[in-house]
Structure 1
Amino acid sequence: MKVVAVPVTGFAQNCRIIICEQTNKAALVDPGGDAEKLQAELAALNCELEAIYLTHGHLDHVGAAKQLADHFSVDIIGPHLDDKFWFDALPMQAQMFGFAPITPFYPTKWLNHGDTITVGELTLAVRHCPGHTPGHVVFYHQDSEQLIVGDVIFQGSVGRTDFPKGDSAQLLESIKSEILSFPDEVAILPGHGPNTTVGHERRTNPFISGRFG
């Protein structure tokens, strides 16, 4: 599985382009903004967009999803239904985060723990990891040992829980029961900042060790 990171918006959110190298089919994960930039990157990669997948409903992760879905005639899939209130509140989010006005939209399909998603011949497992938001999901590709985690965990940090329906205890439980269940060598691809690994975070992340939080 080839993964290309494209930072978007002033929040430097890592939109991920997942590419199946056997079929040249692609998916966008968390296109938070800068739709034209993402269109140009897809054209430069010469791949065919099949779907848009969302880890959670925060605007810096979903802001360009509807525009791109309409442009490419593809579905928006995910996150979990428990994040529906964030989609209802998209106009409020735009005001809160200083984005251009946006009207509510909704995924074609919500995801559940244990579902799978596909990109060409690739299959990724879906895990529900609430805490940062109640409907947050992550995507794992077993063959390449890559885990796309949105804002659950970062290099040396974890997702914020001070937004509506955030829950720090629930977030830490999600990290320990889901993220840390993977082998140490699994790559963590977060929504902000550099990539890391499960092992590195298990050993050094102060929130996991209990030093903070």
Structure 2
Amino acid sequence: MLNRITLPVTPFMQNCSLVWCSATNKAALIDPGGETDRLLEAIDERHLTLERIILTHGHLDHVGATGELVEKTGVPVDGPGEADAYWIDGLPQQAQMFGFDPVPGFTPDRWLTPGDTVTVGEETLEVYHCPGHTPGHMVLLHQGQRLSFVGDVLFNGGIGRTDFPGGNHEQLINSIKHTLLPLGDDITFVPGHGPESTFGAERLNNPFLR
């Protein structure tokens, strides 16, 4: 079983997910945007072993703690898609733009591509490419638990911004309607910010998808 808790980090209240395999106690951090010590404490409190970091996309509020976590733990980084390399290369400029303190840079150990899988202990996450918010944005799905981590593609009652460099509104709507929603109405998703929802609820009620 894949266990999880959501840890909102940074002034942007970005939903970092700590996920772990109940059989092995191996864990991953999905989108560790900041507050490195708090994230490591959450892992220690549960007696987990951090196995990897997984990134949905390259924006600072989702990746800001990655460099420091790698320095402290040595774990590999999976994701995002390589089309987001310019965001990760530009972390110093991002920090300036968003008024964050400078963060250590990093290079992902593996760029994710559609159809890839990422393991956490004995659990498997499927990888889907959902560009629009950023060109290399990836979404993760745990089939068995009908659970998805969607970064900033889709929100409870909203959709991701497309006014940053590399954003594309038409592409984003396409990603939601043709990649995410067909996965099933019953899927619960953890967005990059704000409360969880289901694909079914958003298909019916999200004003941006009408």
TM over 0.5: yes
CA-to-aligned-CA distance 1:29-63 (integer Å, 9 cap, x gap): 00000001101111111111000000000000000
Equivalent residue number for residue 120 of structure 2 = 119
Equivalent residue number for residue 43 of structure 2 = 42
Q: Structure 1 segments of 4 or more deviating over 6 A?
A: none
2:65–2:103 CA contact under 8 A, matched in 1:
no
Equivalent residue number for residue 191 of structure 1 = 192
- Superposition pairs of residues 121-160 of structure 1, within 5 angstroms: 121-160=122-161
**Quick check: 1:164 aligned with 2:144?**
no
Q: Equivalents in 2 of 1:45, 1:192: separation in Å?
A: 24
2:68–2:104 CA contact under 8 A, matched in 1:
no
2:26–2:51 CA contact under 8 A, matched in 1:
yes
Q: CA deviation at 1:16?
A: 0.3
Relative to structure 2, which stretch is displaced further, 14-23 or 96-105?
96-105
Q: Equivalents in 2 of 1:170, 1:107: separation in Å?
A: 25
- Superposition pairs of residues 8-157 of structure 1, within 5 angstroms: 8-157=9-158
CA-to-aligned-CA distance 1:54-87 (integer Å, 9 cap, x gap): 0000000000011112211100110000000001
* TM-score relative to the length of structure 2: 0.98
**Quick check: 1:4 aligned with 2:25?**
no
Relative distance call for 1:103 and 1:26 in structure 2 (3 A) is closer
Q: Equivalents in 1 of 2:107, 2:25: separation in Å?
A: 27
CA-to-aligned-CA distance 1:98-147 (integer Å, 9 cap, x gap): 11013432211100000000000001100000000000000000001000
Q: Equivalents in 2 of 1:59, 1:24: separation in Å?
A: 28
SS at match of 1:194: coil
Q: Equivalents in 2 of 1:181, 1:197: separation in Å?
A: 12
**Structure 1, gaps ≥5 residues long:** none
SS at match of 2:173: helix
**Structure 2, gaps ≥5 residues long:** none
SS at match of 1:178: helix
SS at match of 1:23: coil
SS at match of 1:10: coil
Q: CA deviation at 1:182?
A: 1.5
Q: Equivalents in 1 of 2:102, 2:75: separation in Å?
A: 23
Q: Equivalents in 1 of 2:152, 2:118: separation in Å?
A: 19
Q: Equivalents in 1 of 2:46, 2:98: separation in Å?
A: 31
* TM-score relative to the length of structure 1: 0.96
* RMSD, aligned α-carbons: 0.8
SS at match of 2:144: coil
